[in-house]
Structure 1
Amino acid sequence: MGHAFGLRHTFQGAVGTTCPPNASCLTQGDMICDTEPVTDQVVACDPTAINPCTGQPFGDVVYNYMGAACHDRFTAGQNAHMNTVLTTLRWTLDTSLGGTSLALIPPTPAANTPTISISTPQTSYCTNSQVIITATATYAGANPVYQWKINGVNAGPNSPTFVSTTLNSGDVISCVLTSSYGATCVTTNTAVSNSITITISSTIAPSISITAANTTVCASTQVSITATALNQGPTIPFFQWYVNGFPYGPVTGNGSTTNVLTYYPSDGDVVTCKLLASTSCSPNPWYTSNAVTINTIPSIAPTIAISASDSTVCSGSTITLNATYTNGGTTTPTITWMILNSMAGAIGSGPGPITLVVDSSIQIAAMLNVNNTGGLCYYQTVSVSDWLQIIADTPVVASVLISTPDTMFCPGSALQFTATPVNGGVNPLYSWMVNGAPSGVNTGTFSLSPADNDVITTQLFSNAACVATSPVASNSLTVHELPQPPTPVVTDFGTYFSSNYPNGQNQWHAVGVGPLAGEVNQLFYPSFSGSFYDVVTTVGCASAPSDTLQFPGTNAVTGLSSPDEVFYPNPSGTGEFLTPAYLQGRQAVIINSIGKVIKALTLERKLTLNEVPAGVYLLKTEAAGGTKYFRLVVAR
C-alpha cells in the first residue's frame, strides 16, 4: 500500500551493508524526513540494536511498513505524504469506476473544506540540530501553497516539509495552507494548522586527543599511542583508530582498553583516532583526534671488509693486511684477525696495516665488535668479513727445450726452431743465438737460413711466480747443409725428351705452367707445344733447372695431333679408348717409350690396349695431310 501512495523503502539507495545517501532528507533515500536511513540487511525486530547508518539504536524504524524487518506502522511524515498523494495525484480513487481508465473520468465537484495539521517526531532538540516538521493536508489540490510561520512571521519554503537548524528555544511553528481547488470544490481555499513549540538545549562538544610516548622509534619496534576523551557522555565510549587514513582494528568498546593502540609502525605513519560520544546534545556522533606522525629510524649493522697486498705469494713472503668498516659505533670498534680454524691475535689487532709472513696457503678473516652504539638502531653489533684466500706457491725451476723438424737442410732453404718452456710463466721472453751471437726476435719461434754446422741456442727469461732461476739456457742444435744434385742433362728425341737421371728423380716442368703432374720419369712425351725443362731431386734437395727444350723442335716428329683430335678417355684406367670417327678404319702401330713398335692394328671405334703395362705410348697412323702421332696414357 505504501508504494501505491508514493512511499519508498527506508533502505532506498542502500547496497548490502552500505548505508543509503542521506545528506538531504528531502531529495535522497526515501525522501521522508522522520525516518532514519537503514541498510537492506536489517532483519531482526530489535529496536535497541545499533543502526550502523546513525550510530544510535534503531528505535521504531524496525517496525516500519517500508522497512525489511517487522511491519506494523507508518511515521507521521509517511502519513502526511500518503494523504498528499491521495488528495492530489490519486484523488480519483474516491470515485474510481474499477477498470475504467482514471484519465477518462473527470473529478466530481464537491463542496469540501481543506484542512492542515503539522507534526514533528520530537519537540526538544540540541543547538544547531535539524528540526523537521511535516504538514498533512486534505483537499489541498494539485498545486497547494504552504506558508510556514515562526512566531507568526512568514518563513520557510512552499513545501509540505519545514526544515531548520537555526531555531531558538520557545519558537512557535505553524503553517497556512492555500488550496488550489476552485470554489466549486471547496468551501474555502485556506486553512491554518496547529502550532508546535520547539525547545532547544545547549550543545556540549566532546573532544579526543592522542599522544605517543615516543614519536621516533627504531624500525621493527612497537609503539603505543594513548587516546584521552573529554565530554564523551555517560556510557563507555567507542574508539576507532586510523593509520594513514585507513581503519586499524575493529570498532570496540564496552569497557575494553581500546584507548591504547600498540603496533609496529612504518616510517611516516600518520595515526588518528575517532571517538563515538554518548552525549545527548553533541554536534556529531564521531569526533576526530589530533594526528600523530610516527618516524622510524632504519636499523643498521656494522660491516667489515679486508684486503691483502697480494693474494698469491711465494712461500716465506710478507703480506700487508688492511680492514675497512662501516657503522662501527661512536668509539673505535674492536677488530680481531683470524686464520681459518684459529684466532690469530698474535698477528695484530685493529684495522691495520698488519704484516704477516706466509709460509703456506691460508684463509684470513677479521671480526668487528661495536663497543658503543651511541643510541643508534643496531639490529646486530658483530660483523665478520669474508674469508680471504692467500696462496703460497713453492719455488719452481724453469727450463727450455728447442727443436726443429730436421737439422739437415738444402742450400738456400730456411729452418724453423721452436722453444718449449717449462715454468716459463704467462709471458716468457727469449734470446735466440746463432753460434753464441744474439740473433732473432723475442718469440717462442725462430726462423733462420743457416750455414753448414751452425749451432742454435736460446735463453728463457721466465715470468712464472716463484721461479728459482732466470734466465736459463736451452739445449743446442747443430744443423748441416745437404749437397745439391748436379743439374740434369736433357736430350730432345723429337717426339719425347730424355733426362740423364732415372725414373722417380725427375720433375718435368712447362714454362708458364709449372710442374707437370705425374711427369717424374726419365722419358717425357710432351702432349702440347711449349718450352719444357727438368728438375732433379735427390736426398731431399732439388737441382738447378736443366736446359729448356722446345716442342716441337728441330728434331721433332711432324704431324703430332692437335689437342682437339684426341682419343677418349686419355689417360685411361682400363686401357680402352674411343677412336675419333675420322681415324676409324685406318692402319696404325703402337710405339713404347723406348721407340719400339709393340702392336700393329686397324683402328676401330674402340681401341683396346689391355695387354700393355701402364705407361706412355705413341700411336702412329696415316691420315689426310700425312703421318699423325697420338700420345696415349695407360694408367692402371
Structure 2
Amino acid sequence: MKRLLSLCFIIMLGAGAKAQQYTNANATGANGNAYPFYFVSKIQCLYPAAKFSTAPSGNISTIYFRGSGTGTVTLSDLTIKLGTTTSSQYTSSTDAFITGLTTVYSATSASLSVVSDQWYAITLATPFPFTAGSNLVLEISETGNSGTQFLAYNTIETTTCKLISASVTATNGTTIGTGINHVRLLEFGFDIASAAGTPTISANNSPVCAGSTVSLTATSTATNPTYNWTGPNSFTATGATITIPNAAAANAGTYNVTVTSGGTTSASAAAIVVVNPTIPIQVSIASNPGTTICSGTSTVFTATPINGGTTPVYQWKKNGNNVGTNSANYTDNGLATNDIISCDMTSNATCPSPATTTSNALQMFVNASVVPAISVSNNSGTSVCEGIPVLFTAAPVNPGSAPVYQWKKNGNNVGSNTTTYTDNALTNNDAITCVLTNNDACASPANVTATTLTMTVNPLPAKPTITASGNTLTSSVANGNQWLLNSAAISGATNQTYTITTDGWYQVSVTDANGCSNKSDSTQFTTGVTSIARNGNLKVYPSPFKEKLFVELASNDNHQMIIADCLGHTVFQTTIHAKKTELDLSNLASGVYFLSTASGDSRATIRVVKL
C-alpha cells in the first residue's frame, strides 16, 4: 500500500518518472517558496503519526518526492535514513537532530533526472520496518552536487513538525522557515509492503501411494509473496504449488515453505508427506463340493483375499456376467457344464496394487442326476408253505457301477450282497425287503428300499402213514393223496388206497387246500422173491430192493454170506446166525449183485437188484 503525505521531498536517485501520487492540500506549485535541495548538506523532517494515520504496519520499501523543475543533478555520498521517535514535534528552531536512525539507502554517486511536477520513486536498499501509529523521521544527506538546480515542493504547515537543515556533521539544525509554527515540510510519500507472515499450507494430498503424485499448496496474505520450498534429499522449489510425480519412499518427510515479501522472509510452515509402499493384492476362489457336480447341486463358491483390506468389495461373475452380491460367498444351484465362475475384488487396503484384481476361473462340469429304484419278487408268491425254500430276487433300476444290496427280514439284515436271497425258514407275516445303495456321485437318492413283501406261511398237513393188507396199501388221509413208487408219482394213483403190482419203496403224499404237501415215510413192499437155490433153503426179498434186504434160511446154523458184483468183486460179507436177517445195504450203488450163503456142504446163490 502507498501512502503520500503532504510534504515535498527533493529526491536524489534517477528512478524514473512516476504518475502523480497522493499530495497535500495545496495544489501543485501553490507555494512558490521552493527550496533548492542541493543548497544544504543534511535535511531532517519529523512527521507526526497523524500525517499517515491510515498507514498499516509493514515494510517501507519505496519512498517518493515531487520535483518543481526539470533537469538532472548528481549527488555525492547520498545517504537516506528512516526512524521513529516518541516525539511528535521539534520544540525549538535549533533542536538537535534525532539520532538512532536506520540507513535504508546509500550511494557514493547518485544521478537523478527530474521532470517538473511528477512523482519520483526511490527503491530502498534496506526495507524499513514500520509500525502503524508511529512518528516517522526522514533524514537525507550528501557531501556535494553538480548539475541543474532542482527544487522540491514544500508546504507551510501549521502543525508543530518542521524541517531543519545543517552540515553533514552538525548535531543541531536550523529551521527552514519562520518560527516553530511556520514550518516547511517536504512533500513525501512511501509504499508499505505488508510484512511477510508465516504462510499456510492449504492443500496436502499426503499420504500418497508410491508411484503417484505429491501435491502441496501454500497461501499467504503478504503482498506479492515469493514462495520457497525445501524438503528431503535437498529438494527445493518455488511457487505456491509444488508437485512431485512418481513419488517414492525417498520423497517422504517434512517439507518447509517460507514467504518473502517486501524484503522480509517469513517463518517456515511445515507439511509432512507420507509415501506408502504399494502392496500386491490377490483373490482366489474355491467351490464346495468341487467343480464336478450333479445337476441341481447347490454349490458354494468362497473367495479368499490377500491384502483385501478391512472391507473389500466383491463382484462375482458367471460366464463374464455379474452375479451374486458383495460377499465373499456366492451360491448357485443352476450350474451347467462349462460355466465359468470368477470373482473381481476391490481392496480398501492402503495403497493396493492394483486396486482391483480378478481371481482364478473355475470351469464347472455338471453330470445329470440319476434316480435309482428297486423292486423285489419271489418264485412262490407271497403265500407259501411252511419249510419250503423261497427264492427272492431284486430287480434294480439305475443301480450304478458297484451297487450294494442289503436284504432285510423283519428289519434285520439277512443274506449277502447279491440280487437274490433264499429263505426256507419263513414264518407267517415275515417282512422281506432289499435296500439298494448306488455309489454313483449323482444318484439321487443314493439309497432306495424296495416295497416290502409280507409273507403268508401256511402250515403243512399232518404227515400221513401207510398200512398194508396183502398187496393193498391204505393212506391215513382220505383226500388229496398221491401215491409214489421209488420216489416217483404213480400216474392216476390218487385214491386213499393203492394195490401194488411191483416190488419197491412206496410213499403217499397228501396236499391240502392251501397246496401244501406232506409225505409219509418210504416203505418197502414186495409181491414175491426170485431165487436161485441149490438146495431150496435160501430166500431173499424184496427184489429189487432200495436200502434193506431180508434174508431167510432154513435153520439157525452159522452161514457165511458174501455179496459180489457182476465182476466177482466182494462188496459185502458177514456171518448170520438166524433164520431171518435184515441187511442195510444203502451204501451199495445201484446195480445187479449176487448174494451167496454157505454152511457146511450147503450152498446157495441168489441174483438181486439194487435200485
TM-score w.r.t. structure 1 length? 0.28
Select the structure of larger CA radius of gyration. Answer: 2
| Bigger share in strand | 2
TM-score w.r.t. structure 2 length? 0.29
